[in-house]
Amino acid sequence: MPDRPDFEPSTLVIHSNRSYEKQSNSILFPIHQTATYIHESVGVTKGYGYSRGANPTVNALEQAIAAIEGTEHALCFRSGMSAIHTLCMAILKAGDHVILSDVIYGGTMRLFKQVLGNFGIEYTYVDTSSIPAVEAQLRPNTRLIFIETPANPTLKLSPVQALAELAHSRENILLAVDNTFMTPLLQDCLALGADVSMLSTTKYIDGHNATIGGSLATHDEALVERLYLVRKTIGSIQTPFDAWLALQGVKTLPMRLAAHCENAGQVARWLEAHPRVAKVNYPGLDSFPQKALAQQQQKAFGGMLSFELDASTKDSLRFMDALRLCTCAESLGSVETLATNPATASHCDLTTEERTALGISDRLIRLSVGIESPKDLIADFEQAFAATLGGDA
């Protein structure tokens, strides 16, 4: 097959892994649902010994993700949180310090506060949209800058290239990016200089709410070996069936992303123009304060947005309950439009004061815009407004 750079994304996601099952020549790579593998002789295998270490179906997904990440090295995990945990276990020890984006997924906050902190790993939340703010918080024991951009759920951006340059100007500091909202097809973090690109493959990679999974990609071969060792030791590898399902999902990723981005832009503009909407957070809007940065480091503006109504928290939640087409559910990146209230879901562990300081009000609504007709989505918002807030009044 040609070198991967010769492929456009729509070809790459389909043909990045041309591995076929030898017995039947099945066009779909099969599910290797097995715990162990037969040794050809004592101490001699075909590269697989036990599925806690490696599995052919999982490897097929890893090859597909590595291709879209633009590297040779990707590993898949049981969840996005499992991927982050494995990364931290691979590179950190007691006494090491981590800088985290101040606005970041609540599960990542929970991991550091309730798990890693108990093992002596230090961490500081920093406004990673500001290079001076990050530089001011660097310590001699800082080993990792972990950012999420766009941030969940305010969509605040962090400059990946500038942060990579800052990290690499010091010794032994890595930059890792949670790129779940964008995927490497819309934001190529490794090309921008990040050391590690992390994805919750549950989201846009799968795209159908069928699996739980995560991935880490890097150019660093030594880091890959370390990640592999830790994954094998703690048993955080992706399951074969989930890997097989995600492998089917990734084949339609470019087309789905195009629809997500187009629909999100239409919905964001409609919401911003509505008299009962107080604020919309979407990088594609002229009102978004970091639109220029989005245009610089992203290929498109994504399918995620958040907004606040000109209404009380109670009425905002009533509005969500009145939605009929849009589904009230956690997660994101699927073909269905999903609405969630971060204060009661992803960021419920934070106090009201902590959320308010980060721009996450109790009435904030996060929207993962699906690939339905935007006309139908807007009609659903209109009926929800009419049912709870009197429409345009």
Residues forming the active site: 52, 105, 178, 203
Question: Any idea what the Cα angle at residue 64 is, between residues 63 and 70, rounded to 5°?
Answer: 85
**Kind plus residue range of the DSSP H or E element containing 96:** none
Concatenate the DSSP letters of all residues of 124-186 into one string.
EEE-TT-HHHHHHH--TTEEEEEEESSPTTT-----HHHHHHHHHTSTT-EEEEE-TTT-TTT
Which residues are bridge partners to 124 per DSSP?
Answer: 99
Q: What single-letter amino acid sits at 268?
A: A
- What span, in angstroms and rounded, lies between the C-alpha atoms of 192 and 209? 29
Q: What single-letter amino acid sits at 371?
A: I
> What residue ranges in the chain does DSSP mark as E strands?
73-77, 97-101, 122-126, 142-148, 174-178, 196-199, 214-218, 277-281, 304-309, 327-328, 338-340, 365-368
Number of H helices, E strands in the chain: 13, 12
